[in-house]
Structure 1
Amino acid sequence: MEGIGFTIGLGILQTLAFIYDFITFPIYVLLQRPWQQRQKSKKIKAFIAKTEKEGKDDVSIQITQDSENNNVAVRSTKKKFKSQPITQDSKSITYRSTTQPSPLHVSLIRENIDTMAKLMEFINKKYPNKRCLGTREILGEEDEKQSNGRIFKKYKMGEYRWKTFSEVNTLAKQFGSGLRELGCKPKENIVIFAETRAEWMIAAHGLFKQNIPLVTIYATLGDEAIAHGINETQVQTVITSYELMPKFKKILELTPTVKRLVYMEDQLKDLDKTGYKSDIEIISFTDVVKKGRDSAIEAEPPQTNDTAIIMYTSGSTGVPKGVMILHKNLVTTLKAFCDATEIFETDVMIGFLPLAHVFELLVETICLCAGVAIGYSSPTTMIDSASKIKKGTKGDASVLRPTCMTSVPLILDRIAKTIQDKVGKSGGFKKLVFKFAYDYKTKWRRRGYRTPLIDRSIFGPIRQLLGGNLRLVISGGAPLSASTHELINNCLCITIIQGYGLTETTSCACVQDFYDTELGRVGATTTVCEIKIVNWEEGNYRVTDKPYPRGEIIVGGDNVSAGYYKSPGKTQEEFYDADGKRWFKTGDIGEVHDDGVVKIIDRKKDLVKLQAGEYVSLGKVEAILKTCPVVDNICVYGESTQLYCVALVVPNQPQLMELATKLGLGEKSFEELCDLPEMEKAVCAELADHGKKGKLEKFEIPQAVKIVAEVWSPDMGLVTAAFKLKRKDIQERYQCELKRMYAS
């Protein structure tokens, strides 16, 4: 009977949709002009910059500036490439963007903006009285009793309080001058070790104005990694926050060069300064600003080739490395980002990812360049159900109602699974309507149409999760799976633009075109750099492969950093200069499609050769298996002495409980289930089934799993701040479990 009802219900929905389409189709064609969307989606986005055939024509975008009247001209020209490094038995192909520079890009050239200090002055002149950075007011903290009797601390929160562009610029000047009054000197490193907030951005621009290199360290790193960054850069002053100050009671014992702690205040509590080393100066952010108000010390602005940031990577393959990013690198990437994104003055951004990562820092900066207001948030206060939000009150997104945000694939994967879980638990009719609406929207979206009625009636409640106004998400840090990309696009009624870059390339290499409807790709090369695809013989990837050239991605341009701090050997190993450009070997394997768009398909460091000679790309396998409903996170492991792979699985708790109920184990607790061999076999079977659907080879699918009850977080040191797996640390922590899986 249920099946008959399902068939009848589906038939009714299909009939209603047919009538609706018949009536509205001519209107939608006229208003939406879908052929324009399809044309934009299919355009060529990159071309081969240097060709194999001598004398073949090539297009080049040239930007010229008239020094007398300061006019800037952008033009496309034909030029000849004669016998260049690529030959008939070529080992590499170089690609360049076809995108024209945007008006903002041209303005930055016209105004000779080549440092972050100049950039802030440029922005301030453009939008002095517009709101710039916002912080939500915390009115108090209250105890809230839960249904299980436990007591949690919750915030009573007010509205966002805003600083204008002029106020932010003035505060940055005063903060930088205040640091100089304290004895800090140009070109002497200073650490910022704090969570994302308005004061972080103000402090950074204060340092830029004084030509003081900013050392960024993730707030989630362990004490030893923090001490490593501080000691290697010989920092005397650390800028941190009230919440992180207690860490320094221990860290100061490991960092003898530190003389001064500057802390960003808490809205409710005063700092207890007891328990710190007696010779350490402790001063508040506000007091530093006060010192700078009447400072007579003249600023020493940076030059374009001066170091702006020493950014410590999150160390997915070992000890964190300090990447030296020049002012030139930052401004170059900003030019690329403004060419690749459609951001308007009317937009509002919600900022919550770590500003210690160059991706977040530069996306927020490009928002400032466009006059976009940025309201700061955190995972504990972002949505109405967040852990610090009092029941019945609104989270930051509901108050701010942002139109754009940044994210990383892991967060988007979790949002996608939350949506799937809620749909899975809903009644049969609701589930039917949702699936029909989803498939209906997917069909028309791929044809270039929007579906406003479906968006309002079916997906409207889901959109309210992040305030209801979100239209654009910029994803970075790792490739985003096509399934998650499509689900989030459809259910949140937004456009996700994903990009590809590394800290070493100032987060810039490729960015997806706003109108590109193909999923699972990271975009074409940006306007400021070139990418090479180079043969990797060991992995059997070559530029002669069909249907698409494949190989290691090498990025070249002014976005490529100067190298690793105090590590000339490692710098020489991964960076080189050629053809008038600086190049970086990424270690990522890509294939380039006919329209010039790149798809990341592998990573050199993730490749494992099994006993029978098969190569397994651990990253590729994880990307596919991570979309399995029962998986929240996964680390695949392989040994060259073994015939198969194994996996450590962090399960999705509701899905694991549901699977347990099917096996008759529903009375067990979550922790008990994670230790049961029956559950391990069941999860292994789920992975095998999902892997086959994802077209994995038999040898790529894990033959044994260990279910891990603890969630991997940056605090544990098992994933980076961008939620990339730290394989070495995971393998060390679970070495006994890995041996057991192979022994069994």
Structure 2
Amino acid sequence: MTDTQALIENRPPSVAHLFLERIEATPDAEAYRRPVPSASGQGPDDWESLTWRQAADRVFGIAAGLIDLGILPEERVALASNTRLDWILSDLGIMCAGAANTPVYPSTNAEETAYMLSDAGCRVLIAEDAAQVAKARQCRADLPGLAHVVVIDPAGAEPAEGDPEGWLLTLAELEKRGAAHLEQHPEAVRERIAALRPEQLATLIYTSGTTGRPKGVRLRHDAWAYMGRAIHATGLVEPQDVQYLWLPLAHVFGKVLTAGQISVGHITAVDGRVDKIIENLPVVRPTYMAAVPRIFEKVYNGVATKAREGGPAKYRIFRWAAEVARAYAKTSQENFRRTGTRSVPFALAAQHRIADVLVYAKIRQAFGGRLRACVSGASALAPEIGYFFSGAGIHILEGYGLTETSAANLVNPGEAYRTGTVGKPLPGTEVRIADDGEILLRSPGVMEGYHGQPERTAEVLESDGWFHTGDIGELSPDGYLRITDRKKDLIKTSGGKYVAPAEIEGRFKALCPYVSNILVHGADRNFCSALIALDGPSLLDWAKEQGMAGKSYAEVVDDPRTVEMVEGYVRDLNAGLQRWQTVKKFRLLPRDLDVEHGELTPSLKLKRPVVERQYKDLIEEMYEGAREA
């Protein structure tokens, strides 16, 4: 048995056990960093550190507090909060109490929150602030089983008339209650952990879903213990690493990173404020970071826009440097695949050195200057954007997984990464391609099933453990997986041609620095069309150059000059496509797509049916008078 196999096969039953191992192994090592307001109250935040021992004291206090409230093993505790250290400590406290966490995005409205808490049968809700408490109070009549709400930031969250006695308490009060419980029962938490079984429910997480109502995915304790050990076994993350974690922890991608960290023992700096990313990176100086593709797209578009604002000469330099980066990345990756070395021709290497001084070094510094690699997941990264960052020295390791499979199933293997693929399976994960091209997965991370929906479970989970992902893909002879599209998203035109919209959309994002979101449409039509939403800040900066300063986003989008500008990028897109793939018509949307209007999931995936429904008139307008084949 290899060391990797031993690490996986000898995994403990739960992340709670992993946590105990970590506390015992490195109690005084730094575990977490979190931002706190600077002493002066001005300028950037300071950062406060917690050791593993200090983190354990809080986790045990939360766990014992939940036990004192009467929470039993596998009972559900909801957690509605943005990404912050309290989220991680609360999640660990829930698991160490033997209960099951039901994460809720804080942006979820009261009706949807009530549905999830009711469907899960939650006994306690840990809420971030007064706004989350207000939602719980609003739908309390629909949640008779919700006995307590614990608020992390109590400002403005006071008990209200009609609240049952003891219904609302603060996280500090819960921890104080836990400390008192431990004085009477010192081994209470360790006893709960010792009693945990691998098959016991650890997380009931609801898919944000691109269609329909969310489904509750039942993930066992063993699934997270496996993920922690499997990430550890890849060797991609090391004990001396510093991770910057800003991803939504209510999303399975964010949550799996916490399991990997506990197994490996590295430092994680936690701050979920997306508007602070640019400010935090040079301060945290991470060695690795996970993100969704939209973040890399925004960085790329931002760099391109800034170069354009610098004048024609600066923009020409950027465009040249971008092409050099892509050529360098493609050549070095191909040579590594064939020979095991990243050699490139002398002339290209010389161009790359010049471009590095002029462009790439500044991009790396913006990421903190120490970034060894980024992991990208949750949706597809446009290959041309991936190649740009690869050539600039920001190595993006694309990975793949689903909520139903505990998030991490495949990832690119470090130095041997290949842009445009999602890499190879994690140790202990199996992959195969069905006859119709669908990707099937099997691993200890696969869900137990959908909560209370055996029929829906049977549709995707076979009796021998193979999970049907709904994605279409191809495996290379040496085991790299490439995702081509969602099975349900493939377009069949009225002429009988199949089109993968995600591929076209990804190409356009790499070409147009002003695009934010694009939806390619064409099912049962005789040509493809597109709805295009532009990035507000980039667009308005461009508008100033065109003499449209002071105009709103909607006014700029309506201007013929904007349509003409986008049309140029659509022509560039079409030049690289097959005839049946080309976008014959497009419409610019009056605003960007967002989570608040239900057009994007919280992980920024496009909800195609919602967008197509909302902008049905624009779609029909593009096909008026068109002859259907």
Provide TM-score, normalisation by structure 2: 0.87
Cα pair distance change 1:699/1:402, threshold 3 Å: same
1:305 corresponds to 2:199:
yes
Aligned pair partner of 1:130 in 29, 32, 40:
29
What's the counterpart of residue 338 of structure 2? none
Contact 1:178 1:293 in 2 (8 A): yes
1:594-618 alpha-carbon deviations (Å, 9 max, x no partner): 2221111122110232222222323
What's the counterpart of residue 35 of structure 1? none
What's the counterpart of residue 147 of structure 2? 259
What's the counterpart of residue 22 of structure 1? none
Cα pair distance change 1:705/1:596, threshold 3 Å: same
Residue 492 of structure 2 aligns with an amino acid whose one-letter code is: K
What's the counterpart of residue 149 of structure 1? none
Contact 1:442 1:490 in 2 (8 A): yes
Alpha-carbon distance in structure 2 between the residues aligned to 1:438 and 1:681: 24
What's the counterpart of residue 82 of structure 1? none
- Measured after TM superposition, the shift of residue 183 of structure 1 is 2.0
Cα pair distance change 1:614/1:303, threshold 3 Å: same
- Measured after TM superposition, the shift of residue 733 of structure 1 is 2.2
Contact 1:252 1:277 in 2 (8 A): no
* 3-state SS in 2 of match to 1:589: strand
What's the counterpart of residue 17 of structure 2? 118
What's the counterpart of residue 609 of structure 2? 728
1:349 corresponds to 2:243:
yes
* 3-state SS in 2 of match to 1:169: helix
What's the counterpart of residue 582 of structure 2? 701
Unpaired runs of 5+ residues, structure 1, are: 1-62, 64-73, 75-100, 143-154, 385-394, 537-550
What's the counterpart of residue 281 of structure 2? 397
Residue 623 of structure 1 aligns with an amino acid whose one-letter code is: G
- Measured after TM superposition, the shift of residue 621 of structure 1 is 2.6
Alpha-carbon distance in structure 2 between the residues aligned to 1:170 and 1:204: 14
Aligned pair partner of 2:132 in 229, 244, 247:
244
Alpha-carbon distance in structure 2 between the residues aligned to 1:363 and 1:225: 26
Residue 357 of structure 1 aligns with an amino acid whose one-letter code is: H
Cα pair distance change 1:686/1:453, threshold 3 Å: closer
Give the number of the structure whose alpha-carbon radius of gyration is greater: 1
1:576 corresponds to 2:462:
yes
Contact 2:224 2:259 in 1 (8 A): no
What's the counterpart of residue 66 of structure 1? none
1:593-648 alpha-carbon deviations (Å, 9 max, x no partner): 222211111221102322222223233332222333132101223342x3223322
* 3-state SS in 2 of match to 1:308: strand
What's the counterpart of residue 291 of structure 1? 177
What's the counterpart of residue 79 of structure 2? 192
1:292-314 alpha-carbon deviations (Å, 9 max, x no partner): 11314534231001111011111
Cα pair distance change 1:587/1:179, threshold 3 Å: same
Alpha-carbon distance in structure 1 between the residues aligned to 2:590 and 2:389: 27
How do residues 538-549 of structure 1 correspond to structure 2 at under 5 angstroms? none
- Measured after TM superposition, the shift of residue 453 of structure 1 is 8.4
What's the counterpart of residue 504 of structure 2? 621
Residue 459 of structure 2 aligns with an amino acid whose one-letter code is: E
Alpha-carbon distance in structure 2 between the residues aligned to 1:245 and 1:679: 44
Aligned pair partner of 1:175 in 52, 62, 68:
62
Aligned pair partner of 1:359 in 235, 253, 257:
253
Q: How many residues align?
A: 598
Alpha-carbon distance in structure 1 between the residues aligned to 2:519 and 2:312: 35
* 3-state SS in 2 of match to 1:586: strand
1:650 corresponds to 2:530:
no
- Measured after TM superposition, the shift of residue 442 of structure 1 is 5.5
- Measured after TM superposition, the shift of residue 140 of structure 1 is 8.5
Cα pair distance change 1:656/1:291, threshold 3 Å: closer
Cα pair distance change 1:454/1:303, threshold 3 Å: same
What's the counterpart of residue 8 of structure 1? none
How do residues 216-615 of structure 1 correspond to structure 2 at under 5 angstroms? 216-242=103-129, 244-265=132-153, 269=155, 271-274=157-160, 277=163, 281-295=167-181, 296=184, 298-299=188-189, 300-301=192-193, 302-383=196-277, 395-431=279-315, 434=318, 446=332, 448=342, 455=356, 458-491=359-392, 493-536=393-436, 551-578=437-464, 582-615=465-498
Cα pair distance change 1:732/1:273, threshold 3 Å: farther
- Measured after TM superposition, the shift of residue 205 of structure 1 is 1.0
Residue 620 of structure 1 aligns with an amino acid whose one-letter code is: E
1:103-161 alpha-carbon deviations (Å, 9 max, x no partner): xx634645x5121111111111121001112211125898xxxxxxxxxxxx7554111
Alpha-carbon distance in structure 2 between the residues aligned to 1:721 and 1:226: 14
Alpha-carbon distance in structure 1 between the residues aligned to 2:165 and 2:72: 20
Residue 580 of structure 2 aligns with an amino acid whose one-letter code is: F
Query: What value does the CA root-mean-square deviation take over the aligned residues?
Result: 2.9
Cα pair distance change 1:256/1:728, threshold 3 Å: farther
1:405-427 alpha-carbon deviations (Å, 9 max, x no partner): 11001111111111122223334
Residue 513 of structure 1 aligns with an amino acid whose one-letter code is: P
Cα pair distance change 1:251/1:711, threshold 3 Å: farther
What's the counterpart of residue 597 of structure 2? 716
Cα pair distance change 1:372/1:668, threshold 3 Å: same
- Measured after TM superposition, the shift of residue 560 of structure 1 is 1.1
* 3-state SS in 1 of match to 2:37: strand
Alpha-carbon distance in structure 2 between the residues aligned to 1:157 and 1:676: 39
Contact 2:397 2:417 in 1 (8 A): no
* 3-state SS in 2 of match to 1:459: helix
Cα pair distance change 1:660/1:701, threshold 3 Å: farther
* 3-state SS in 1 of match to 2:238: coil
Residue 209 of structure 2 aligns with an amino acid whose one-letter code is: G
Alpha-carbon distance in structure 1 between the residues aligned to 2:320 and 2:611: 41
Alpha-carbon distance in structure 2 between the residues aligned to 1:623 and 1:417: 13
Cα pair distance change 1:214/1:307, threshold 3 Å: same
- Measured after TM superposition, the shift of residue 666 of structure 1 is 7.7
Cα pair distance change 1:421/1:678, threshold 3 Å: closer
Alpha-carbon distance in structure 2 between the residues aligned to 1:565 and 1:312: 9
1:139-195 alpha-carbon deviations (Å, 9 max, x no partner): 5898xxxxxxxxxxxx75541111110111221112111011112222211111111
Contact 2:74 2:202 in 1 (8 A): no
* 3-state SS in 2 of match to 1:479: coil
What's the counterpart of residue 201 of structure 1? 88
Alpha-carbon distance in structure 2 between the residues aligned to 1:648 and 1:442: 28
- Measured after TM superposition, the shift of residue 383 of structure 1 is 4.0
- Measured after TM superposition, the shift of residue 462 of structure 1 is 2.2
1:513-556 alpha-carbon deviations (Å, 9 max, x no partner): 111253211112222111111111xxxxxxxxxxxxxx111001
Shifted more, 340-349 versus 670-679: the winner is: 670-679
Contact 2:8 2:226 in 1 (8 A): no
What's the counterpart of residue 573 of structure 2? 690
Alpha-carbon distance in structure 1 between the residues aligned to 2:485 and 2:375: 22
Alpha-carbon distance in structure 2 between the residues aligned to 1:229 and 1:648: 32
- Measured after TM superposition, the shift of residue 323 of structure 1 is 0.7
Cα pair distance change 1:666/1:742, threshold 3 Å: farther
Shifted more, 731-740 versus 197-206: the winner is: 731-740
Shifted more, 731-740 versus 666-675: the winner is: 666-675
Alpha-carbon distance in structure 2 between the residues aligned to 1:232 and 1:689: 49
Alpha-carbon distance in structure 2 between the residues aligned to 1:678 and 1:437: 27
Contact 1:218 1:314 in 2 (8 A): no
Cα pair distance change 1:453/1:276, threshold 3 Å: farther
Cα pair distance change 1:341/1:107, threshold 3 Å: closer
